[in-house]
């Protein structure tokens, strides 16, 4: 059933005293400042090294592009659906056809890459500032935030109307799956909270950024793309659900936030993970192992987000059991060749094996009685300087 939620935003409701963790656990990060763990210390040094390397780099902005959305507006986010290809049976190659799991090189150099670069850069600056207090990192972080959400010359319009466009379909407007691109924005509320402690922080900028997310949330809730993604019964629906919850929290829309935080288990987990741990919608894909990991990663994001809001979703009926079963369903194939996997995974087997390792690393916090940490240690190939050690 589609949800039709009326969203009203009032600037007067916004406050700059918002000092919450969203996805990054600030208490855990604070403890790691004083940790003697060699990997934690290596990760801090690594993120600082990355921040130093970036200081002279230009900020990636959405208006600095050659491929513009059909609207003609450079401020409109524009990406093409990665698994959709020119039609060989028509003269103009339209409408594009789907080849699941095979990436069309035409999608390169578009706003998805720019957004990903922004996410990585802002993450590095925010974490480096948190662990060192060096104002230069906060200065650069605020430059990014202002460029994307405030400055009229470079800011992104608060919608993804042209995300993951399938050429020749839907009047060349975006698809509901394009809202997955917006998951990169999930780190912004934590970044704003961390950087709000810096000298470069300005109250009016925090208000304007929250305004942007309020407008973006409104678009997610009311647009045809957003309403279709809301009812998606696979990883798309999971990612949409989490984004709505976090952006609502950040923008101060408590009613929407609580709705999406509290019904996550029933709407997403219990409908997508079978009692034996299978995720049928993901197993039907040509990258079945990868998408199964992808969905679990997002579900653990929500477990963390809810915990920091005082909600124990793992304590809800069947939730912990389904998550545990889903992990255990994947474990027999960890460290094995792709030929051992009974479903399809046409590419990126080793990459997805490492993604599964990070699922185990995070799951160990909630299932310490299991053997997940040992399996992570045995199969993990990440460098000790990996910043995941700092935010998970």
pLDDT tens, the chain, 392 aa long? 445 444 433 333 333 333 379 999 999 999 999 999 999 999 999 999 999 999 999 999 999 999 999 999 999 999 999 999 999 999 999 999 999 999 999 999 999 999 999 999 999 999 999 999 999 999 999 999 999 999 999 999 999 999 999 999 999 999 999 999 999 999 999 999 999 999 999 999 999 999 999 999 999 999 999 999 999 999 999 999 999 999 999 999 999 999 999 999 999 999 999 999 999 999 999 999 999 999 999 999 999 999 999 999 999 999 999 999 999 999 999 999 999 999 999 999 999 999 999 999 999 999 999 999 999 999 999 999 999 999 99
The pLDDT assigned to 20 comes to 76
Q: What is the reported pTM?
A: 0.94
CA distance 22 to 328: 28
CA distance 41 to 359: 22
Q: How many CA atoms lie within 13 A of 231 on its CB side?
A: 10
The pLDDT assigned to 174 comes to 96
Residues with Cβ within 8 Å of 88's Cβ and at least 6 positions away in sequence, in order, are none
Assess contact for 50 and 137: CB atoms under 8 A.
no
Q: Where are the domains of the chain?
A: 1-7+25-252, 263-392
78 strand-pairing partners: 162
Which architecture characterizes domain 1-7+25-252 according to CATH? Alpha/alpha barrel (1.50)
Tell me the pairing of strands 78-80 and 162-165. Answer: parallel
Q: Which two tokens stand for residue 104?
A: 């069309």
């Amino acid at each position: 059933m589609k949800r039709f939620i009326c969203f009203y935003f009032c600037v007067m409701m916004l406050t700059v005293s918002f000092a919450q963790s969203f996805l990054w656990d600030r208490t855990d990060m604070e403890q790691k400042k004083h940790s003697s763990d060699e990997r934690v210390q290596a990760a801090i040094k690594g993120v600082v090294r990355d921040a130093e390397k970036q200081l002279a780099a230009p900020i990636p902005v959405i208006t600095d592009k050659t491929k513009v959305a059909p609207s003609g507006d450079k401020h409109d986010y524009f990406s093409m659906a990665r698994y959709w290809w020119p039609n060989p049976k028509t003269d103009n190659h339209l409408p594009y056809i789907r080849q699941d799991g095979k990436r069309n090189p035409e999608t390169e150099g578009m706003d998805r890459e720019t957004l990903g670069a922004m996410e990585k850069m802002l993450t590095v600056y925010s974490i480096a500032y948190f662990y060192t207090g060096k104002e230069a990192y906060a200065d650069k972080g605020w430059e990014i935030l202002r460029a994307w959400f405030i400055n009229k010359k470079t800011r992104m319009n608060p919608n993804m109307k042209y995300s993951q466009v399938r050429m020749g379909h839907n009047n060349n407007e975006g698809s509901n799956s394009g809202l997955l691109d917006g998951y990169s924005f999930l780190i912004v509320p934590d970044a704003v909270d961390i950087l709000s402690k810096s000298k470069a922080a300005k109250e009016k900028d925090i208000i304007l950024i929250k305004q942007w997310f309020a407008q973006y949330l409104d678009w997610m809730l009311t647009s045809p793309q957003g309403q279709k993604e809301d009812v998606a019964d696979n990883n798309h629906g999971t990612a949409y659900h989490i984004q709505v919850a976090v952006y609502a929290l950040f923008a101060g829309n408590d009613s929407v936030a609580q709705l999406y935080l509290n019904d996550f288990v029933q709407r997403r987990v219990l409908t997508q993970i079978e009692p034996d741990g299978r995720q049928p919608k993901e197993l039907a894909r040509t990258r079945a192992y990868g998408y199964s990991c992808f969905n679990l990663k997002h579900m653990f994001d929500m477990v963390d987000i809810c915990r920091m809001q005082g909600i124990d979703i793992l304590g809800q009926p069947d939730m912990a059991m389904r998550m545990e079963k889903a992990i255990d369903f994947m474990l027999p194939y960890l460290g094995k060749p792709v030929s051992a996997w009974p479903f399809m995974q046409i590419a990126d087997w080793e990459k997805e094996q490492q993604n599964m390792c990070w699922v185990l690393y995070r799951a160990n916090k909630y299932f310490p009685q299991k053997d997940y940490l040992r399996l992570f240690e045995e199969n993990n190939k990440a460098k000790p300087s990996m910043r995941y050690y700092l935010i998970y």
